[in-house]
Amino acid sequence: MSILTIGTVAFDAIETPFDKVDRILGGSATYSALASCYFSDTVRVSAVVGGDFPDEYLERLKSRGLDLDGLEVIPDGLTFFWAGRYHFDLNGRDTLTTDLNVLAGFDPVLPESYRDARILCLGNLDPRIQLSVLDQVDGPDLIICDTMNYWIKNTPADLSKVLSRVDALIINDEEARQLAEEPNIVRAANTIRAMGPDVLVVKKGEHGAMLFLDGSIFWAPALPLESVVDPTGAGDTFMGGFAGHLDRCPVIDDNELKRAVICGSAMASFCVEQFGPENLFELTEDKIRERIHAFKSLSEIPAPAVASV
Amino acid sequence: MSILTIGTVAFDAIETPFDKVDRILGGSATYSALASCYFSDTVRVSAVVGGDFPDEYLERLKSRGLDLDGLEVIPDGLTFFWAGRYHFDLNGRDTLTTDLNVLAGFDPVLPESYRDARILCLGNLDPRIQLSVLDQVDGPDLIICDTMNYWIKNTPADLSKVLSRVDALIINDEEARQLAEEPNIVRAANTIRAMGPDVLVVKKGEHGAMLFLDGSIFWAPALPLESVVDPTGAGDTFMGGFAGHLDRCPVIDDNELKRAVICGSAMASFCVEQFGPENLFELTEDKIRERIHAFKSLSEIPAPAVASV
């Protein structure tokens, strides 16, 4: 089976209250694909970088088995650059710089080999790019989409077209409230699911994630961590783990979607333990299995030992 | 078995963005005891009211089987009055009025029949009152305590004495961070448990609750509700349901503490569906059982159907 991830491959400069790094490997497709590759043998990346993107970074991504045939390199262009500074509790952040560079003209043409992907992950990009990709694939089993407040506010018509064509939307709680124009998250979820996606995941950072399905809601915890180093990319990593688990499932049903949320949460919990995607290069199946088990222990309600109500 | 609840019995005036009520029945002991009485046959209340407290309210409380022998009535005093206004999303609120009235001189003398309580619930009050009650009971099996930012800031020495003598502390996440002077909630929990309580419950409102035990953490969801009418008393109701479940358990162990968090969360979810404690007069064991089951469905991770990591 196979996953196709469209998104950014970027340089990130990140400041937290405790440390800072400059021009490290980043981007939504980077995080998402690195998380997916622990679950799926075939993870394809469509993105764009400039001539300044180091061969060393390309080699590191290839070393994880990623298919980079669809990674366009524009020799005389510069790679997308993002700089941000996190607040004291690491829950909020300010964007300091966004240099789109080669991303400004990104108009992906998928290699022929990419078009039959089983699962398509549309990373957070201009909805017009997401639509163009939707027109190039041969009916994936599952289309997963991310977006952000910028597109919700500035390109609602195009975003609406995207939403009508995707199966699963993964956004955070603030974005969900903004997209639905509704503060109550249950009502917001109903509104958003009526826009197209049958499956809605609302990410709540340190408060976990909620999965909204037909007639049921699933609530996944976040792993309580004593040390969070850098939350950058946690949401993209979640999408990668979510898609990764589902690519292993011959049939994608509600139970597997719930398990996919746990896999996404587990991968995100690794992501935040180090700066950038470093941790995502170092995992093993054993470590991931252990982490998923930690999520179970965390939220499992013991069977009753005594008669209670 | 038996539960003794010390706290306030009050008049509340509550404004939400959608409605308002004036001088309804309120107070921490009211909510907590009403929640406990669905689990335990013997729920005793120690509190104080003024001569203005209507007989009708006393009768309503007695109709739920509460023992009010320790409810002091000061005929020429006025009942504690609190008024508050909730913000648009109902997560925050401003206190508009706090008239302590008879609460200012509250110095409970427990009736002899109260002293052998199996579970003691110390509602949010001046730590000096909590200490005085601790001196009057005959070694309960479990002492549960609530407090708030006011006492954390203004009476740290007395609060510290209380904490050294209680088994379980139930506070919200903001209070936990303030008490431990530590933004990370896992490290904050470690610090607080070192102050005395073996068991710490951190309530996070719509984000659920976390239970910190020796070497393990349990994460309970909050029920996603389409309509929240009034969050007043939800935390006290949580304590009442938590204590109620434990009073049914011959042995209080980690598994029963986890189940108690679910019972507390279930009772709190009923509380917020109507203004004041109204819903807590109308429940049945069936309704409560159904609600607890809803919590299980919400957070249960399905067993794997396919090989995954």
pLDDT, tens only, A267-292: 999 999 999 999 999 999 999 999 99
How far is residue A201's CA from residue A185's CA, in Å, rounded to a whole number? 11
**Taking CA atoms, what residue in A is nearest to B88?**
A183
Spell out where A206-272 has E strands.
Answer: 209-213, 216-220
DSSP helix/strand/coil, A219? strand
DSSP helix/strand/coil, A81? strand
Tell me the HSE value of A308 on the side-chain side, using a 13 A CA sphere: 29
DSSP letters, A98-158, are EE-GGGGG------GGGTT-SEEEE-SS-HHHHHHHHTTS---SEEEEE--HHHHHH-HHH
| B88 pLDDT above the threshold of 80 | no
**Chain A residues lying within 8 Å of B210, measured CB to CB:** 224
DSSP helix/strand/coil, A258? helix
How far is residue A22's CA from residue A26's CA, in Å, rounded to a whole number? 11
CA–CA distances in Å: residue B58 to residues A17, A145, A276, B66, B91: 54, 56, 61, 10, 31
Contact at CB, A228 and B184, closer than 8 angstroms:
yes
**Facing residues of B81 across strands?**
B11, B99
CB nearest to B224's CB, from A185, A263, A307: A185
Q: Which domains does chain A have, with CATH numbers?
A: 3-298 (3.40.1190.20)
Residue B255 neighbours by CB distance under 10 Å:
17
CB B2 within 8 A of CB B138: no
Contact at CB, B309 and A297, closer than 8 angstroms:
no
pLDDT of residue B303: 85
Distance in angstroms between the alpha carbons of the first and the last residue of chain A: 47
Contact at CB, B226 and A304, closer than 8 angstroms:
no
pLDDT of residue A88: 77
Contact at CB, A285 and B309, closer than 8 angstroms:
yes
| B309 pLDDT above the threshold of 60 | no
Helices and strands per DSSP (H, E), number in chain A? 10, 13
Tell me the mean pLDDT in the region A236-245: 98
* Three-state DSSP string of chain B: CCEEEECCCEEEEEECCCCEEEEEEECHHHHHHHHHCCCCCCEEEEEEEECCCCHHHHHHHHHCCCEEEEEEEECCCCCCEEEEEECCCCCCEEEEEEECHHHHHCCCCCCHHHCCCCEEEECCCCHHHHHHHHCCCCCCCEEEEECCHHHHHHCHHHHHHHHCCCCEEEEEHHHHHHHHCCCCHHHHHHHHHCCCCCEEEEECHHHCEEEEECCEEEEECCCCCCCCCCCCCHHHHHHHHHHHHHHCCCCCCHHHHHHHHHHHHHHHHHHCCCCCCHHHHCCCHHHHHHHHHHHHHHHCCCCCCCCCC
Where residue A183 falls among pLDDT bands split at 50, 70, 90?
Answer: confident
Name every residue whose Cβ is closer than 8 Å to that of residue B255 and which is 6 or more positions away in sequence: A302, A305
pLDDT of residue A137: 97
CB B154 within 8 A of CB B21: no
Tell me the mean pLDDT in the region A249-257: 96
CB nearest to B296's CB, from A38, A285, A301: A301
**Chain B residues lying within 8 Å of A307, measured CB to CB:** 248
How far is residue B127's CA from residue B146's CA, in Å, rounded to a whole number? 10
| B304 pLDDT above the threshold of 90 | no
| A297, A301, A306: best to mutate for the B interface, most B CBs within 10 A | A301
Q: Identify the CA nearest to A85 among candidates A9, A21, A8, A172.
A: A21
**Chain B residues lying within 8 Å of A259, measured CB to CB:** 301-302, 304, 308
| CB-count exposure of residue B112 (10 Å: 0-12, 13-18, 19+) | exposed
Contact at CB, A184 and B245, closer than 8 angstroms:
no
Amino acid at A24: I
Closest CA of chain A from B67, distance in Å: 21
Residue percentage of chain A with pLDDT more than 90: 93
pLDDT of residue A305: 60
CB nearest to B224's CB, from A186, A259, A295: A186
Tell me the mean pLDDT in the region A135-148: 96
Chain CA centroid to CA A195, Å: 20
B269: left (phi over 0), alpha (psi -120 to 50) or beta: alpha
**Taking CA atoms, what residue in A is nearest to B283?**
A309
How far is residue B284's CA from residue B27's CA, in Å, rounded to a whole number? 22
pLDDT of residue A92: 84
**Chain A residues lying within 8 Å of B301, measured CB to CB:** 220, 258-259, 262, 295-296, 299-300
ipTM surpasses 0.85: yes
Please, what is the average pLDDT of chain B?
95
**Chain A residues lying within 8 Å of B216, measured CB to CB:** 297
CB B208 within 8 A of CB B221: yes
- Its pTM stands at 0.93
CA–CA distances in Å: residue B283 to residues A95, B39, B286: 49, 11, 8
Residue percentage of chain A with pLDDT more than 70: 98
> Can you say whether the dihedral through the CA atoms of A52, A54, A55, A57 is positive or negative?
negative
pLDDT of residue B111: 97
**Taking CA atoms, what residue in B is nearest to A285?**
B309
Task: Tell me the two tokens of residue B155.
Answer: 């009476």
Closest CA of chain A from B219, distance in Å: 5
Name every residue whose Cβ is closer than 8 Å to that of residue A91 and which is 6 or more positions away in sequence: A205, A206
pLDDT of residue B308: 58
Interface A–B counts its CB contacts (< 8 A) at 127
**Taking CA atoms, what residue in B is nearest to A173?**
B207
pLDDT in tens, B237-283: 999 999 999 999 999 999 999 999 999 999 999 999 999 999 999 99
